[in-house]
Chains A and B, each alone.
Chain A
Amino acid sequence: MSISVGLNCPACGGAIQISEGENVLNCNYCGSLLWAEGDAGVMTVAFRNAQGRDSVLRATEEWWRKGFKARDLRTKGKLLECYPIYLPFWSTTTRVAGWICGYEERHHTDRNGNTRTERIPKEEMVLHDYRYTNIACDPGDLGVKFLRNVSGEASFADFESIPTFESTTSKDDMVEMSKQNALSDARSDANVPHITFEKVTAIPKQISQIFYPVWVVRYSYGERMYMATVDGVTGKVLSGRAPGDALYQSLAMTGGTSVSGLIAAGSIAFGIGSGEGTIAIIGLVVGAAVLGFTYRFFRHGSEIIEGDFDDKRSSDLGKELRKGLKFNVGGFRI
Chain B
Amino acid sequence: MASMKCTKCGAPVEFDTGDKFVKCSYCSSQIFIDRSGAGFYYALPFSVQENDAVGIFRRWAGGSTRAKDLDKLAQISSLKKQYFPVYMFKRDVNGMEQVYVEPAASTTLPGLHSLKVPGGDLKVFDDKFSTNGAEMIKIDIEMAPYLSNLPGAPKEQALVYFPIWKLDYVFEQKNYVVVISASSGEVFSAEFPPRSSAAYIAVAGIGFLAFLAEGILALFSPLLAVGLIAVTIAGVFVASNFVARRM
Contacts and interface: CB of A to CB of B under 8 A. Distances in A.
Interface in B30-54: 30-38, 45, 47, 52, 54
Contact of A166 (B18, B59, B245): B18
A257 B204 contact: yes
A7 B62 contact: no
Contacts of A3: 4, 33-35, 37-38
A298 B240 contact: yes
B32 A5 contact: yes
B211 A261 contact: yes
Contact of B71 (A16, A166, A216, A224): A224
A220 B64 contact: no
B18 to A, nearest CB: 5
A25 to B, nearest CB: 11
Interface in B155-179: 155
Contact of B211 (A223, A224, A247, A262): A262
A302 B31 CA distance: 55
12 contacts: A4-B5, A80-B52, A83-B47, A141-B185, A223-B72, A225-B58, A226-B59, A250-B243, A258-B233, A268-B212, A301-B64, A311-B63
Contact of A169 (B29, B31, B55, B99): B99
B60 to A, nearest CB: 9
Interface residues of A, number: 76
Interface of A: 1-7, 15-20, 38-39, 41, 80, 83, 85, 137-142, 163-173, 176, 216, 218, 220, 223-227, 241, 243, 246-247, 249-251, 253-254, 256-258, 260-262, 264-266, 268-269, 291, 294-295, 298-303, 311, 313
B134 interface: no
B214, B215, B216: residue with the most chain A Cβ atoms closer than 10 Å? B215
B185 A227 contact: yes
A267 to B, nearest CB: 9
